[in-house]
Amino acid sequence: MIKFLMTLPIFLFAVMIHEIAHGWVAHRLGDNTAKVQGRLSLNPIVHIDPTGTILLPLLLYIIGSPVIFGWAKPVPVNFLNIRRPKMGMVLVSLAGITANFLLAIFLSVLVRSGIFPENSQGHLFLNIGILINLILAVFNAVPIPPLDGFNMLVGLLPRKFGYPLSRLQPYGFVILFALMYIGLLGKLVWPIVILLYYALAGSA
């Protein structure tokens, strides 16, 4: 439980940065919906989703899931305000994944710098941060609804393929939890996360 309590604030910061990245890129592309609603703030309160940010990660931790994930309250994006909505969907979706990956790289630089001695709480904190951000980046890149990877796929496909595919969105969470239940999602995400983790943090 102590490790979970250490993990929770790192997880909250990671999902918050993920959502801010979505909103910031949407704003740069012409949609200020997230900015107007105060969702580009670093105030965690405006980003907490009771189910996705707290209850689900806690439940996954309790049952010993190899992949702990969740989400913050999604930032609102109106793609009608973006001149090229399909490309905007791709860029906005990619922003969250990229933000988590860059944060993992930054934390790995701190680990390798030796700012904290090995086996210290600070060293553990940074490594947990790397792992969480990689999990979020890889997990969200999976092309199933409602994840960012799915939105990127819909945005990249020609309309005649992307539009029918987008109709899977209402069933996204059913698909997601079904894949988790049979263990397929963990088998897909976890090996990639571990590979990236050791590439960034080494044996730390």
pLDDT digits (tens, 9 = 90+) for 138-187: 999 999 988 999 999 999 999 888 888 888 888 888 888 888 788 888 88
CB proximity list for 66: less than 8 A, separation 6 or greater: 186, 190
Angle at 153 between CA 85 and CA 18, to 5 degrees: 75
Q: What is the dihedral of CA 148, 149, 151, 153, to 10 degrees?
A: 170
Residues 118 and 148: their CA atoms lie apart, in Å, by 35
pLDDT of residue 176: 82
3-state secondary structure of 170: helix
Q: Does residue 118 carry a catalytic annotation? A: no
On whether the CB atoms of residues 10 and 63 are closer than 8 A, the answer is: no
Q: How confident is the model at residue 66 (pLDDT cuts 50, 70, 90)?
A: low
pLDDT of residue 204: 46
pLDDT of residue 156: 93
Among candidate residues 12, 19, 69, 149, the one labeled active-site is: 19
pLDDT of residue 89: 93
pLDDT of residue 49: 85
Q: How confident is the model at residue 26 (pLDDT cuts 50, 70, 90)?
A: very high
Can you tell me the mean pLDDT for 108-131? 89
pLDDT of residue 201: 81
pLDDT tens per residue across span 83-117: 899 999 999 999 999 999 999 999 999 998 888 88
Among 52-56, 83-87, 133-137, the range with the most confident prediction by mean pLDDT is: 133-137
